Amino acid sequence: MIRICQNCGAKNRIPARYLAGTGKCGSCKSPLPPGAEPIEADTQLFDDVLRETRVPVLVDFWAEWCGPCRMAAPDLHAIAQEMAGRALVLKVNIDEHPELASRYGVQSIPNFLVLRNGHAVGQYTGVRPRAQMRGWLEAA
């Protein structure tokens, strides 16, 4: 994952285990805040996060053509901002990564998966209120 320094504009590669943490820019040493946006995940990044991160993860299985998925997107963005440093939000496009959807038995979307220490602790189908999604992460 690449994070851009707000101070000098340098691109910094952030390993999966540090995505929810605060780091330092490799160029100017300014603080790099934790990610506060949903992260588009491919299979490699997904597996890295699953293996290495120690914060709860909310995974949104979605597709470009899905109206309810588009309805949930603003709430997912808000949750990523609200939970920055305490949780991660991943987005997995099922058309681009059907193997991930298959791995978790996703048959309808939007489908939300909550992971803690690499293990699924909850899976939910359909658009849900933001407070409920945030509650899943707080409980995990």
Q: Which residue has the tokens 């053509």?
A: 65
Catalytic residue of the set 8, 25, 28, 66: 66
Closest-CA residue to 39 (of 82, 86, 80, 85): 80
Give me the count of residues in the chain.
140
CA–CA distance, 14 with 51 (Å, rounded to integer): 15
| Active-site annotation holder among 5, 8, 25, 69 | 69
Question: What is the DSSP code (8-state) at residue 79?
Answer: H
- Clarify whether 8 is annotated catalytic: no
Q: Which of 58, 112, 119, 115 is nearest to 90 (CA)?
A: 58
Instruction: Tell me the β-bridge partners of 89.
Output: 58
Q: On the CB side of 86, how many CA atoms lie within 13 Å of its CA?
A: 11
Gyration radius from the chain CA atoms: 15
Q: Could you confirm whether 69 is annotated as catalytic?
A: yes
Active site residues: 66, 69
